[in-house]
Structure 1
Amino acid sequence: MIFSSIKNGDTFESYPKAIQTALDYLKSHDFASMEPGVYEIQGRDIYAQVFDAVTVEADSKHAESHEKYLDVQYLVSGKERLGFTKNTGNYKVKEHIKERDLIFYESVEDEGYIESRPGCFCVFFPSDIHRPEVISGESMKLRKVVVKVSVSLL
């Protein structure tokens, strides 16, 4: 997992090229004015999902992970907490939606949280279980972008 901000002036040169591509896309677009939807960056190898969501209590949001893609989650507006823990392979799967590369878990252990604000991004690898869109203070509407990067590019 990587947590940082595109506002910190870092060039991210030490990151894998595919993640640099995702971050360059995030730095160069005005997502507040874009319509929600899917935007291809490099076909289906790297693409962005722009959407609006509402934060909820952690117990009403299932922890999730992915196998074929990593997530670069970027917060455009609002604030949220992001849960995270290591994928030990020992957690009971609640639902596996293969066509969406999405695995939901019944419960996880040793979950930590980070606070995300506009400009923050978090890279979740397949080894990271994560729980996005958790209330930070009070429930609120968010604008988010999730750039999906195929792990085959790493």
Structure 2
Amino acid sequence: MPFVTELTFRRLASAAPRMIAGAPRATATSTLQSRYLSSTVPRAKTVTETAKDTLKTVDRAVSDKLVDGINVGSAMASKVKEVSQDIADGTATATGKAQQMRNEAEAKGNELKHDAEVKGQDVKESAKDKASQAAEKTKQAADGVKSRM
């Protein structure tokens, strides 16, 4: 520690005449402040954190698909209301149009349900793979520590 203190005093002493002579103060301080010392190691994610992140991703993907299905359902409901208004008005073509809209709504609902299930399975499998990889790495690290002892 005495070496660092001595070095600091030397720098201050050599900077003092320049500061008095009208040199900008930032020059002297930036020389002292530009040197940092860090002894911390970046922290890697734990298996638990990785699993949580993966599950959050799965949850978000499934939620997005469900919201899409709800939005389509409400849009179809408004179209069905329009069609039922046509039926109430006595339009002869309304029956065919209502049936067509019902069929479209059912097909779209089935399609979105299938997409959500497929996406959920894909993300679930991905989460399992990542969890097993993390568990394997943890096991290898534990074995490495045991072998060193």
TM-score (norm 1): 0.19
* Bigger relative contact order, structure 1 or 2 (CA pairs below 8 A, ≥6 apart): 1
The structure with the larger Rg is 2
Query: What TM-score does the superposition give when structure 2 sets the normalisation length?
Result: 0.20
